[in-house]
Amino acid sequence: MRHRIFTTSTLFAVLALAGCGHSAKQAAARAVPPARTCTAGTSHHLGSAKLAFAAIVRSRATVSARPGGRVFAGFGRLNQNGAPTVFSARGVRVDRHCRPAAYLVQIPRRPNGVTGWVAASQVGVVRLATRILVDLSQRRVTLYRSGRPILNATAAVGSAATPTPTGSFYVNQRLIPSDPNGPFGPGAVGISAFSNVLTGWTQGGPIAIHGTNEPWSIGRAVSNGCLRLPNPILRRLFAQALNGTPVLIRR
């Protein structure tokens, strides 16, 4: 099957990240010319090096291995931390009117990188121009906007015993700790990845990019898998890395 990248000008209008003003169905209807037709069930890739898509759960979402298939995961509007539930939209299946019928999404669940299909009616979709690259060998975190680096910083990474997992993930939540002077600093950018070794930890050992109260650790391989940034840098990243931002972690 020939895949192509959709942009919001050909698939749907951009929805506001907080408080979507229109439904995805209404937005799609405005963005697709009425006379256009598609082959129902056709799937297309979503995203590029400069553009990503996030799917925000409206009230509840069920995920299946194929559209309309057996459900293997369910999510509410908010996750266990009280943050909005967000998926990374990687593909879309359209109906005969070229409207989104289902999205292929990556979800924040083990095994790392697991994907499935969610009905288009269950999510609102927005586009993002940001992405994050983590280079573990260089111990660097780089934030890009529209393909251009706008922040580059040295980070602490996972130790040899508790390494930072590698792979393609996304920002799934942004949390503000109760103590800005604590081990997570002023904020934590949660990633849809989990430690490969700390499986017994609370919530399954989630990975995050966060601040620190141990500035001496920056640039060293000493963490339990998370990525630590100096607190001033973390504040800048936190403000710009919105939910759904792709995160690539490589060695």
Which amino acids are annotated catalytic? 210, 226
E strand segments, 100-187: 100-106, 115-119, 123-128, 130-135, 140-145, 148-154, 157-158, 167-175
Task: Name the maximum alpha-carbon separation found in the chain.
Answer: 62
Residue of 184, 188, 235, 240 lying closest to 214 (CA atoms): 184
Phi first, then psi, for residue 185 (nearest 5°) are: 65, -155
Q: Please report, for the chain, how many H helices and E strands are present, in that order.
A: 2, 18
Rounded-to-integer distance, Cα 116 and Cα 222, Å: 34
Residue type, 92: V
Neighbours of 198 (CB within 10 A): 17
